[in-house]
Amino acid sequence: MLLGSFIKTPTTHSIEILGGIGFDFVVIDEEHAPFDRVTIDNGLLAARAVGTAGIVRVAEPTASKLLAVLDDGATGVLVPHVSDVEKARAIVSACRYKGGSRGFSNSPRAGNYGAVGMWPHVEEQDGSVTVIAMIEDPEALDVIDDIVAVDGLDGVFVGRGDLSVAMGAQSQASPEVHAATEKIAKAAIAAGKPVCVMVGSIEETTAFRPLGVTSFIVSSDQGLMRQAASKVVTDFRDIADSQAEGPDGGATRPAY
């Protein structure tokens, strides 16, 4: 199984920390966080520095967006709202040289700034770049078998948040959302494509392992910081309250 987290803060530090402690990958979130071309570029450099895979969730599935992050050295792309076969084919095409439409350049980081020759660069990129479709629209469920069958699509991410909102579900744990997740996972696995979901905690992964999910995005850098900071505040208040009460129940002066 693979472990990753979303990166919402446009700096290198959280990527260095998560990669350094053993996260398999990070997802730089251009869609829902204030990243631009420069901060994405820096984030991908940080991912390389600590040896973790740097994936970018692009803000939109345009050829120019996909080209930019791949040239900057992204290990792969996570593409929102892939709801039909045509969209799946379009993103695969934009990410591949041979049989696709990716604009060629070996001068950026992906081509080691020109050190890699034309055809070795083409072969390496076509063989290593990972294209992941986000399945998060109800209409995608009707054609999910066709979407996951698209050649060159390497995996799927189940967008339970968007599915929940679109379905009017009470939460991501609602039966209809779980059923949709199961349907997507079953189709992807039958097509030989791995499945990724986002969870709020490690404990939540147990509900998805029986479905064949093998990759998990756990929270985000901001979410993990909030969880850790909330625990610190709670623990601190508990200690402070206990120190405020003396053995006889009276107040005592805290020791600093």
Q: What is the pLDDT of residues 171-200, one digit of tens each?
A: 999 999 999 999 999 999 999 999 999 998
For 117-167, what is each residue's pLDDT tens digit? 999 999 999 999 999 999 999 999 999 999 999 999 999 999 999 999 999
Beta strands 155-158; 195-199: pairing state: parallel
Tell which residue, 29, 135, 30, has the closest CA to residue 81: 135
Active-site annotation holds for 13:
no
Which residues touch 106 (CB under 8 Å, ≥6 apart)?
Answer: 112, 114, 116, 117, 118, 121
Instruction: Read off the pLDDT band of 170 (50, 70, 90).
Output: very high
For 97-107, what is each residue's pLDDT tens digit? 999 999 999 99
Question: What is the DSSP track for 226-249?
Answer: HHHHHHHHHHHHHHHHHHHB-TTS
Residue 176 in contact with residue 164, Cβ under 8 Å? no
Spatial separation of the C-alpha atoms in residues 219 and 200, rounded to whole Å: 5
Question: What is the DSSP track for 57-104?
Answer: E-SS--HHHHHHHHHTT-SEEEES---SHHHHHHHHHHH-STTS-PPP
Which residues touch 207 (CB under 8 Å, ≥6 apart)?
Answer: 178
Please determine, for residue 36, whether its predicted confidence score (pLDDT) is greater than 90: yes
**219 backbone dihedrals φ, ψ, rounded to 5°:** 55, -145
What's the angle, vertex CA 131, arms to CA 130 and CA 137, rounded to 5?
Answer: 150
The pLDDT mean for the chain works out to 95
Which residues touch 142 (CB under 8 Å, ≥6 apart)?
Answer: none
Task: Out of 13, 32, 81, 178, pick the active-site residue.
Answer: 32
Instruction: Read off the pLDDT band of 246 (50, 70, 90).
Output: low
168 secondary structure, DSSP code: T
pTM of the model: 0.92
Tell which residue, 27, 58, 32, has the closest CA to residue 196: 27
Q: Report all structural domains of the chain as residue ranges with CATH numbers, in order of start.
A: 2-244 (3.20.20.60)
Please determine, for residue 35, whether its predicted confidence score (pLDDT) is greater than 70: yes
Residue 95 in contact with residue 56, Cβ under 8 Å? no
For 111-122, what is each residue's pLDDT tens digit? 999 999 999 999
